[in-house]
Amino acid sequence: MKTKKILLSLIAALAICFCFASCDNSHDTEEMSVAATTASWEYYPDEQPVGYYKRYSVVKDDETFEEMLELRETANKGYLVLKDDWTAYFELDGEITEYTYDRKNLYLKEDTEKNNGFSYVHINGRLIVDYGSTTEQYMILSDDELADYLEHGSDIEIDKEKKY
């Protein structure tokens, strides 16, 4: 009787060891190609997001309803142009702010050390730039809107409901 208990305990222990040994918790196998990540996702675009973008949204952290209404007037104004030489500029009412950029951040032109970048995400013709306490969204101009912009400047309207 005592031998049977020892034998059953040994078999149970071996079965448990076998179960734990066969579990593969690594995330680098082909079957499990999703790697473990943190809660904050980062997206790095595969291609350079060259193009003409119109700003259509500005959101500030902790803004009141009144502040949102005031910002709505200017939120739909301004153009961000990203060039293929990794330079960019933002135009608002004739005033231009110059930038340089890389695959992760926009930098003011004066920031030659690239210490104070503004992160951005480029997804399906939309550009979202995080300036810290303010987030701005831009939409790439269609061919017709681009022609209007190049001909008339910054007084054109953009179709916000357009699907890209």
Contact by Cβ (8 Å): 132, 38: no
pLDDT digits (tens, 9 = 90+) for 107-159: 999 999 999 999 999 888 899 999 999 999 999 998 888 888 888 766 555 55
Cβ partners under 8 Å of residue 29, min gap 6: none
Closest CA to 128 of 146, 145, 105, 107: 105
Q: How many CA atoms lie within 13 A of 13 on its CB side?
A: 6
At 84, the pLDDT band (50, 70, 90 cuts) reads: very high
Environment class of residue 10 by beta-carbon count within 10 Å: exposed (0-12), middle (13-18) or buried (19+)? Answer: exposed
pLDDT digits (tens, 9 = 90+) for 73-83: 788 889 999 99
Architecture in CATH of 51-152? Beta Barrel (2.40)
At 164, the pLDDT band (50, 70, 90 cuts) reads: very low
Residue ranges per domain, the chain? 51-152
Stated pTM of the model: 0.64
